[in-house]
Structure 1
């Protein structure tokens, strides 16, 4: 059998994987702070007899788009948006779990006073942030979480949000959709990362770009199927020659 079949099938598999990536991006078009995935593939030579003239598509790890999303005003004290580059730090699994990172800043406070992002504890420079009873909460531009209680005249700092500025090329996503480093390390806090209260960052997914990519992939898949038929025809011709 001609090794062209490896080229055809690996190409079709890559296209199906790419379609899944773009479909997931489109599904998160309205998810605050979502970062689009960019699928990657490379060519690998298929070894054979004599001249190695066939190649196959080899999937590589997805990368994450570092492009910033637009920001909208919400007026909510616990909605935060990173200004420029940077990420918030949260705990992956429970308060003592490993760190993960996100641009999403729609935080809440649970019944125990813990600052959370969904089911994940939001991390400060001293660990998970837990707020004592308070009358007013304010998060400053440098990430300081401050509260006002009783007859206090001034805000009292509780902790400071952990903000990091890692290299996006070294980031990937876990099963929960949070960003993690490829080597499992935890970047150091970067005090230069600024935040703005009362704002949320939107997804950085472009619906137009994703739809165009999906249509191009559909055409590429049709081409792979035509090549598959051509490879099948070449195999039949070779078999006939052998029989004759």
Structure 2
């Protein structure tokens, strides 16, 4: 993975057809997505329950871009190795889910995967400045984690702006997860985000047989975000 700050669109397969993941992934990649986002939920750290390492291993052969795995689980350390072995390119864990977050990030990097740090909407940036040498990505949650289709929390825009200033010229992505649409994408891009996770905004209305809808939705989000970056 070569680092750049160009806008990247990462569809969340939480909104895809669960019975047809392989084709869904191949379709969104053919329609221009940059990363494939996998939301892992444990029914404990967050209310919902979704995927485990076997699912990640099963879809890995279908992913030609980047498998971006977001672990909304607690405890997280015992499963880092399993998700790495399943083929994760990026493993993102929550600050709130690990009492020894520095050690957890080290464990991710030791597997060869990129390390991501996610922050819930109610979590501030105070701890992040001490972890910037350990992360390749910071994910700002713009909804409370656990369910797709929630409304964007606008108070997080200032957090994105502050994080971008903290990062400076370090090669760290800022990822946004939650409520991303063609309307909210410009707001987060202008503030400094470069990876946009979107679920329902990409998958709703489309299918593997109506792939052009996926493509239209991906382009709409990308163009809106990119225009805001140029304007800024």
Could you tell me the TM-score, scaled by structure 1's length? Answer: 0.22
Could you tell me the TM-score, scaled by structure 2's length? Answer: 0.23
Q: Which has the higher helix share?
A: 2
**Structure of greater Rg:** 1
Which structure is higher in RCO with an 8 Å CA cutoff and minimum separation 6?
A: 1
Q: Which has the higher strand share?
A: 1
